[in-house]
Amino acid sequence: MEPLPKKRILYAVTKSNGGGAQAYVLMLARGAREAGAQVSVMAGSADGRSATERADTGTEEVTGDIPGFLFSELVAEGIRTIPLSRIQRDVAGASEWRAFKELLAVIRAEKPDVLHLNSSKMGVLGGLAGRVAGVKRIIFTAHGWPSKEPRPFLWKVMAWLGSWLTIVFAHKVIVVSQDDLRTAPVVFFRDKLALVHNGIGDFARASRSDARAALAAHAPALSGYSQWLLMNAELHPNKGIGTAIRALAELAPKHPSLALVVCGQGDRLAYLTELARLLDVSDRVFLLGFVPHAREYLCAADIYLLPSLKEGLPIALLEAGLASLPVVASNIGGIPEVITDQKTGLFMPRGNTHILAKCIEFLFKDPEKAARFGSSLREEVLKKFSGGEMVSKTLALY
């Protein structure tokens, strides 16, 4: 690992929840501290809303910050955290100026040698603030380009321009997959790009029975089902949870013991709950909310689902691989760099409910093949997606 004695490193991410970008920041913060750096992490609230937005909706008191799982993990390890009250996930006009001023004030106070930005919003605002503050090394990691989302054309154009500006502001841009390297929104700045695949270290996992008991504690009715489809995902349109619910509804008549379990929070809870009700599978869809250390309970699943509409190279997929789970995933982004169809998992076209249902049925009909897919995926992840290698390659860019 590259030594970083006394170097001041400030990591930044828009939200402090427990998602993939946050797991990435946590791994890097640990690694940088082990390399001798002085490390701090700044982030907004867990739900992606600013104090102003919460006040405007009248749903919560204005407390300045609602820190999430990322901060609790960092604090437990003695890594300094800086809560941000002004930044929010969604674009919000004049609020962006307040968020920019807050970021600029923090960066000037911290005086980092390296500012490492994560997430699209933080990339634009943090990159500009870092340049104004005179930071000598600004790194941005693209966890999938937002312009790839299935959105209206004008939105995609604006997202492309925002990503291009982020590349302009940064001194180095890390992409996590070959797909993101190939499709990066660069004009004249391709030399700024560096490919560093996401990685992961092995982790403790509960036994199947203990994992099921732990998840069923969040929803006792879950113990009445014997076949579990599992997703660890934010309740966000990009994650394709609606596609999974529709596939479950298609399979329900033939599989009375089948349930879908989703560990994660987000602003699509009401929509997904209503969708399950309309499809008459409310009793089979378990939206458990945020489950701390959810990856420890992966062995509860029979099949892991990743029907995403947009991805970079998802850490959740690497976690499922280390748990030796058979995976059905969308053939998008960096996923094909991890999974080989019919060898280490099964592909589905993005948003195709019927093919997802067919893949699930195929795996249930041939459990031996499903087990081979899972064990082969674990070997692939261990061989090619080392967390230690990811951290070393990233710190070398500082």
Domains defined along the chain, listed by start: 8-195 (3.40.50.2000), 208-384 (3.40.50.2000)
Given this model, what pLDDT does residue 65 score? 41
Using pLDDT thresholds of 50, 70 and 90, give the confidence band for residue 243: very high
Given this model, what pLDDT does residue 57 score? 57
Total Cβ atoms within 10 A of residue 226: 12
Residue 194 has pLDDT above 80, yes or no: yes
* 3-state SS track over the chain: CCCCCCCEEEEEECCCCCCHHHHHHHHHHHHHHHCCCEEEEEECCCCCCCHHHHHHHCCCCCCCCCCCHHHHHHHHCCCEEEECCCCCCCCCCCHHHHHHHHHHHHHHHHCCCEEEEECHHHHHHHHHHHHHHCCCCEEEEECCCHHHCCCCHHHHHHHHHHHHHHHHHCCEEEECCHHHHHCCCCCCCHHHEEECCCCECCCCCCCHHHHHHHHHCCCHHHHHCCEEEEEECCCCHHHCHHHHHHHHHHHCCCCCCEEEEEEECCCCHHHHHHHHHHCCCCCCEEEEECCCCHHHHHHHCCEEEECCCCCCCCHHHHHHHHCCCCEEEECCCCHHHCCCECCCEEEECCCCHHHHHHHHHHHHHCHHHHHHHHHHHHHHHHHHCEHHHHHHHHHCCC
pTM above 0.85, yes or no: yes
Given this model, what pLDDT does residue 1 score? 63
Residue 190 has pLDDT above 80, yes or no: yes
Express each pLDDT in 79-89 by its tens digit: 999 999 989 87
Using pLDDT thresholds of 50, 70 and 90, give the confidence band for residue 338: very high
What average pLDDT does range 26-34 have in this prediction? 96
Using pLDDT thresholds of 50, 70 and 90, give the confidence band for residue 68: confident
Which residue, 149, 102, 117, 125, is CA-closest to 25? 117
Given this model, what pLDDT does residue 62 score? 40
Rounded to an integer, what is the distance from CA 12 to the centroid of its chain? 15
**Cα–Cα distance for residue pair 161/242, rounded to 1 Å:** 29
**Cα–Cα distance for residue pair 114/171, rounded to 1 Å:** 10
What average pLDDT does range 214-235 have in this prediction? 97
**Cα–Cα distance for residue pair 173/166, rounded to 1 Å:** 9
Which of 82-91, 94-103, 110-119 has the highest mean predicted lDDT (pLDDT)? Answer: 110-119
Express each pLDDT in 195-216 by its tens digit: 999 999 999 999 999 999 999 9
Residue 63 has pLDDT above 50, yes or no: no
What average pLDDT does range 161-179 have in this prediction? 96
Given this model, what pLDDT does residue 49 score? 76
Given this model, what pLDDT does residue 349 score? 97
Residue 55 has pLDDT above 60, yes or no: no
Given this model, what pLDDT does residue 61 score? 45
**Cα–Cα distance for residue pair 221/392, rounded to 1 Å:** 45
**Cα–Cα distance for residue pair 172/119, rounded to 1 Å:** 15
